[in-house]
Amino acid sequence: MSLWSHRLGSVTVYLVGAGPGDPGLLTVRGAQVLSKADVVIYDRLSVASLLELAPTQAERISVGKAPGRATMSQEAINALLVERGKTGQEVVRLKGGDPFVFARGGEEAQALIEAGVPFEVIPGITSAIAVPAYAGIPVTMRHSSELFTVITGHEDPDKGGELDWEAVARLGGTIVILMGVGRLPKIVDRLRSGGLSADTPVVAVQWGTRPEQRTVRATLGTILHHDLEPPSTIVVGRVAALNLAWYESKPLFGKRVVVTRARRQASALADRLRIAGADPVEVPVIEIVDPPDGGAALRTAAQSLARGKFSWLVVTSENGAQRILAALHDARDLGNVKVAAIGPGTAAALHAGNIKADLIPDRFVAEAFVEAFPPPAHTGERVLIARATVARDVLPEGLRSKGYDVEVVEAYQTVAVSFDEEAAARLRSADAVTFTSSSTVERFVESFGAEALPPVVACIGPVTAATARSFGITVDVEAEVHTIDGLVEALVQHFRQSTPRTRTS
């Protein structure tokens, strides 16, 4: 009888390939099941940011193995999968690379079969192909290598097992060795005994596809002179002489950049940093919450908008846009009300609610907002400004000076996030920190102190930079275009042109 015949539609265990490291290489199907998981059982090579795709309430269990150490035996992992699978929970087993490529996923699947637990295998991108690609090495190349062999180096070459390294050497083509650093001297000796010359190109790539990727280029005769560490993927053959570099050529490759935005907003900046090659480190210092009155004034203001009591709605942030949209029934509540957004990010947030901004200033600061605002059409024309609890008064005072009747409503407030030693450790290892608002600067200093800053401080615009300088902080980067993209571009230009300040300890 099939596992499914009596449990159709039941919750299953998912054996998910997490890919080799770059979180963008997770498959769409893998992301889907992670988003619904009750339990995530993950190993050492899984990327921490992938765990954030799971619901916040999901249980996370590390069973990671490292050379010479295992937090849990394979038999215990199998038993855990069976136990949790039988409880009716949705269990995701997140494994580095592909579950069935030297990852013991077959053993886990066999245990589930024997226990009668329905499961699904979601393949992942194996490091055997992805890591060489990220190092600029195609595993096959016309006229150079028309076949490739993937081998685990985990087994001892001297034990006389089934693997004939000399025969592998005689096959030709490309040899990709996984988990082979610890036994590399014996592997090199066996390959040379099989006929490969000392000048055969070799590349070892540690932490491939991740911002900390390190590539060592050598030959069979010189590779042992290098200090290699796991996890490394080793490529042997003519194609290893190629260097079609693209990943390590990214402008922020290898830079660790702290993102201080609220957690639910951090992904936009983190994604753009990752595209530029950086390693984004999320240390959110603020959280966006309801204003002190719980949003009562905002709801009242939204009713006034619907009744046509205001001619203009002014929104000064993405958070403000999201809050006012939530307070409205739908876009029809605005009727003939014109809408002004301080910048493209705010305008995009409004557009998500089917509201197109009528006014966006050329510069995304309050002073430019006031300058761009048209004069009132009549005496007593009313403007509603939805903004944070604590904000500068430049905008409401400027509009009042133009003749508007201005009402300010608190749409949200920012509060500090508590931290542990792990967050401080992430800061100590970073190359740069980004601030996207004055509140992120204030909360950072409140939580860590200015002395905890990484060597490079980057601010999204002049207002945020001014707040940083008021705390005695040297601002190294100030974006000319006050957007997330502008901030990342400013960081790119900075690292291209200068040497960062020395990190203080």
Residue numbers annotated as active site? 43, 65, 179
Q: Is the dihedral of CA 198, 203, 207, 212 positive or negative?
A: positive
For residues 286 and 263, what is the distance between their CA atoms, to the nearest angstrom?
8
Neighbours of 85 (CB within 10 A): 25
Angle between helices 344-351 and 318-327 (to 10 degrees): 20
* E strand segments, 263-381: 279-282, 286-289, 312-315, 338-341
* E strand segments, 153-255: 174-178, 201-206, 214-219, 232-236
Of the candidates 394, 393, 398, which has an alpha carbon nearest to the alpha carbon of residue 374?
398
For residues 63 and 40, what is the distance between their CA atoms, to the nearest angstrom?
10
Contacts of 442 (CB under 8 A, 6+ apart): 467
One DSSP character per residue, 44-72 reads TTS-HHHHTTS-TTSEEEE--EETTEESS
Tokens of 51: 């765990």
Neighbours of 9 (CB within 10 A): 7
Tokens of 266: 């951090």
Residue with tokens 């615009």: 461
Tokens of 84: 């949790």
362 vs 344, 399, 483, CA distance in Å? Answer: 10, 17, 12
Residue with tokens 């001892």: 156
20 vs 50, 144, 206, 232, 250, CA distance in Å? Answer: 12, 25, 11, 11, 19
Classified as helix, coil or strand, 149 is strand
R_g of the chain computed on alpha carbons:
28
For residues 266 and 257, what is the distance between their CA atoms, to the nearest angstrom?
12
499 vs 188, 248, 460, CA distance in Å? Answer: 40, 19, 20
Q: Which amino acid belongs to residue 440?
A: T
Q: Which amino acid belongs to residue 473?
A: I
Residue with tokens 């600061």: 365
